[in-house]
Amino acid sequence: VSSQRIVVVGADATGMSAASRAKRRAPEIQVEAYDLGRYVSYGACGIPYAVSGEVGRVEDLVVISPDRFREERGIEVFTRHLVERIVPAEKKILVRDLAAGRVKERAYDKLVFSTGAEPITPKGIDPGLEEVFFIRNLEDAQRLKSFLAERKPGRAVIVGAGYIGLEMAESLAKAGLRVQVTVRGERVLSSAEEEISSALAGELKRQGVELVTGAVPKATERPARGGVRLELMDGRELTADLLLVGAGVRPRSELAEEAGLKLGVKGAVAVDRLQRTSDPDIFSGGDCAEAYHRLLGRNTYVPLALGANRQGRVIGDNLVGGKSEFPGILATTVTKVFDLTAARTGLSLREAREEGLEAVKVVTKAPSRASYYPGSSPITTCLIAEKGTGRPLGAQMVGLDGVAKRIDIWGTALSAGLSLEEIGDLDLAYAPPYSPVWDPVLVTAGVALKKIS
């Protein structure tokens, strides 16, 4: 281990977690990390709040600077360095210093492939137009903020209503724009249960955001009087001052593929539970790689921040001779859309059925606090459970209050493999400002038990 050099390709959540953990475990090793961007270790998740103005500056989202990595952790970080090739046969990378324009070779003993994901560009949208925005990193956020400050746009069209599309709808509305959100089908957050989607659609409407359904992009163009026009397949046209694309992401795995690494689910880098790729000296994790799902018992693709950080730590252990196994994800998420919070953990009804499980959905509505206490409002829960056994498989929730607290109870229960009886018996905290005596989690477990048995 002592004279080893670890090279990290992509220096954000996964890569820097791996680098930091490895260096802590074995301070004598040499670790260097390359990133094509100006920033490393940034919180992309905070971008919607930096654009809306709730977080002061985009740069405030940087968690640790390259200098601090060097001084405090002994990790060399090279920003504006694009890794162009990985040559596993010679255990080297070719990396372009974007400022100097030079390509250099670096040898590695072990490599971390952590390039993240990239936004999908839907057919018909020209990503080269000045008024078209994608949100992936801090540079994207800065470009958008400068555009807002300089051009003072009045109207935005958002293509796609996944988490990023919805959070950016709120963000741009708070920044003072009139916002339209387009979806291909009928629903926002179409991966969620219908009850969740319709609550979110109601909230958008209440907040003055227009939802345009059945909207399949055909073309984008710049009208003579400025702005951007989105033409839809059915002939409708939407015009705005800016168009933001939130149509999902795909793993950025081309370099890995060119290097001969095996790809898996959705073209993500295939990994085992130790986060090893098909090359014994290359590890991968985060948004460019598959993730092991606890309930499915196999790999899937769910690009989220905590999973990326956790996988990074597993990689860090294993880079220096450890045998850490990634325990798995449950795809637990929480998102704020104006005043509503939507959250989920585990499988949806569709996912459970696709897995061949005989699953049912139980929907409950229960107050977030004692009904007499100010601020109490209903939480809708969709519980997915296996028919017959009653095994809980997933939970989704939406409400104005107390959703984030409850989804973590469901996530914990799913992790621990608790039965509905055991969940119904949990000794949860109660005081009127925080919950009713019978918390919505306990209510849902009870209702589900009755319905399923």
Ligand X SMILES: Cc1cc2nc3c(=O)[nH]c(=O)nc-3n(C[C@H](O)[C@H](O)[C@H](O)COP(=O)(O)OP(=O)(O)OC[C@H]3O[C@@H](n4cnc5c(N)ncnc54)[C@H](O)[C@@H]3O)c2cc1C
The stretch near ligand X (CB under 6 A) out of 32-40, 101-109, 391-399, 427-435 is 32-40
DSSP β-ladder status, 178-182 and 298-300: unpaired
Comparing CB distances to ligand X, the nearer of 115 and 299 is 115
Helix H or strand E segment including 396: strand 392-399
Q: Which of 87, 120, 305, 400 binds ligand X (CB under 6 A)?
A: 305
The burial class, CB within 10 Å (0-12 / 13-18 / 19+), for 325 is middle
Residue 83 found at the interface with ligand X (CB under 6 A) = yes
Q: What is the DSSP letter of 355?
A: T
Q: Which of 237, 251, 298 is nearest to 273 (CA)?
A: 298
Q: Which of 35, 203, 401, 439 binds ligand X (CB under 6 A)?
A: 35
Residue 199 found at the interface with ligand X (CB under 6 A) = no
Residue 15 found at the interface with ligand X (CB under 6 A) = yes
Q: Which of 47, 112, 132, 156 binds ligand X (CB under 6 A)?
A: 47
Residue 12 found at the interface with ligand X (CB under 6 A) = yes
**Exposure pattern of 69-88 as b/e (b: 16+ CB <10 Å)?**
beeebbbebbbebebeebeb
Residue 9 found at the interface with ligand X (CB under 6 A) = yes
* Interactions with ligand X, residue window 257-296 (CB under 6 A): 286-287
Q: How many residues bind ligand X (CB under 6 A)?
A: 33
Residue 308 found at the interface with ligand X (CB under 6 A) = yes
Q: Which of 19, 112, 304, 385 binds ligand X (CB under 6 A)?
A: 304
Q: Tell how far CA 105 is from the center of its chain.
A: 32
Q: What is the DSSP letter of 428?
A: -
Q: How far is the CB of 15 from ligand X (least distance, A)?
A: 6
Query: Is 45 designated active site?
Result: yes
First CA to last CA distance, the chain:
56
* Interactions with ligand X, residue window 87-146 (CB under 6 A): 114-117, 135-137
Between CA 52 and CA 168 the distance in angstroms is 8
Q: How far is the CB of 333 from ligand X (least distance, A)?
A: 6
Helix (H, G, I), strand (E, B) or coil at 374: coil
**DSSP string over 68-126:** HHHHHH--EEESSEEEEEEEGGGTEEEEEETTTTEEEEEE-SEEEE---EEE---TT--
Per-position x/- string for 317-336, each x denoting binding to ligand X as judged by CB under 6 A, each - no binding: --------------------
Q: Which of 391, 403, 381 is nearest to 337 (CA)?
A: 403
Q: Which of 19, 21, 37, 277 binds ligand X (CB under 6 A)?
A: 37
Are 157 and 230 a contacting pair, CB within 8 Å?
yes
Give the active site residue among 24, 45, 74, 155.
45
Q: Which of 242, 48, 247 is nearest to 157 (CA)?
A: 242
* Interactions with ligand X, residue window 153-172 (CB under 6 A): 164
Between CA 353 and CA 370 the distance in angstroms is 36
Between CA 244 and CA 139 the distance in angstroms is 15
The stretch near ligand X (CB under 6 A) out of 23-31, 33-41, 200-208, 225-233 is 33-41
Q: How far is the CB of 404 from ligand X (least distance, A)?
A: 11
The stretch near ligand X (CB under 6 A) out of 301-309, 349-357, 405-413, 432-440 is 301-309
Q: How far is the CB of 292 from ligand X (least distance, A)?
A: 15
What tokens appear for 61 in the block? 């989202």
Residue 44 found at the interface with ligand X (CB under 6 A) = yes
Would you please indicate which residues are annotated as catalytic (active-site) residues? 45
Binding site for ligand X (CB under 6 A): 9-10, 12-15, 34-37, 44-45, 47-48, 82-83, 114-117, 135-137, 164, 252, 255, 286-287, 303-306, 308
